[in-house]
Amino acid sequence: MKAVVVHGPRDVRVDEVPDPEPGDGEVLLALEWGGICGSDISYWRHGGTGTAVLRHPVVLGHEVAGRVARLGPGVSGVEVGQPVTVHPAELVGEPAHPEGRSNLHPHVRYFGSAAFDPHTDGGFSQYRAVRVDQLRALPDGVSTRQGALAEPLGVALHAVNRAGSLRGRTVLVNGAGPIGALVVAAAKHRGASAVVAADLAPASLRIAKRMGADEVRALSAQPLPGEVDVSFEASGSPAAIGPVLRATARGGTVVQVGNLPGEAVSAALGDLVTREITWCGSYRFVDEITDALDVLRGGLDVSPLITHTYPLAQADRALETAADRSTGSSKVLLRLDD
């Protein structure tokens, strides 16, 4: 079968690899769609992401959906042909995380990750053997194309959950890339009275507006709003932290969604104290991918987020497009069965 394999910085290839065989408690998926994430881009650009460093080639991709092609030994309750997406996390070892917060488990094998050696292959391939407990059945009316966005929507829903109730509250989302735009949609879904999205890129702001933002602000010409109840910092830029804290009302909450650098950075933090702001992090999700499918079944339209699609054979071009904001890209999808 064909798979998208990163061999090193700027070296991604569509390789022929052995067809997988489902083992005990596994199914074989015929994959149809995969969404490119920032971590995929980082492996392609730098040969690593965060503390995970590429030691040998690995198949990319953790935002995927497809159909069950074959059942492994001992599998029941799943039908061949059933459309599914995948929870890409597998916890390793005994539970060592706070109850109800499995995303904080210290050792997790994640699709398309070099955190462990051997690495964990992802799902940018024609087929993938998957543990049955990682499957999430797609509801009626939710296509596999939409289902490939359940994972990043789960990230957005987890971030919103970290803020507590948003009903009737004003919200700022700083950074309107794919996750930021999904946070906009999730905040509106959770009852926010008004959502302002801010970004430097006009194309990203147009998408945020279509995803439900009541107002957008171009940071090249407009300041952030003031006195919002809850802010989501989704850009991951240390320089944005100070302005976002200042935009948040006294006693308000800031949720850090965008990944920050692992090394020392400069940031203006005085308002964290003097405005008595609660600043919390948000990391992946627990099982909000299941909630995401319910939200999609309820009619949330994620199509404005999908700006480009490419066949599997053009994975290098897809990564280049996703990495270059001047293309107007947001979520770039690979057609894995093409």
For position 262, what pLDDT does the model report? 82
The two tokens of residue 281 are 């992090």
d(CA 308, CA 331): 7
d(CA 130, CA 26): 5
For position 94, what pLDDT does the model report? 87
CATH of domain 2-149+302-335: 3.90.180.10
d(CA 4, CA 16): 9
CB 155, CB 284: distance < 8 Å: yes
For position 95, what pLDDT does the model report? 84
For position 283, what pLDDT does the model report? 96
Q: What is the mean pLDDT of each run of 10 residues along the chain (338 residues)?
A: 97 98 98 97 93 94 98 96 98 89 94 95 98 98 98 98 98 98 98 98 97 97 96 97 98 96 90 97 97 98 97 98 95 96
CATH of domain 153-281: 3.40.50.720
Tell me the domain boundaries of the chain: 2-149+302-335, 153-281
The phi, psi pair for 312, rounded to 5°, reads: -55, -40
Whether a cis peptide bond, with omega within 30° of 0, leads into 304 is no
Cβ atoms within 10 Å, residue 337 = 16
Per the DSSP assignment, residues forming a β-bridge with 130 are: 27
Exposure string over 144-172, b if 16+ CB within 10 A, otherwise e: bbbbbbbbbbbbbbbbbbbbeebeebbbb
Q: Do the domains 2-149+302-335 and 153-281 sit in the same CATH topology, yes or no?
A: no
**SS3 state of residue 159:** helix
Q: Which H or E run contains 130?
A: strand 127-131
For position 261, what pLDDT does the model report? 85
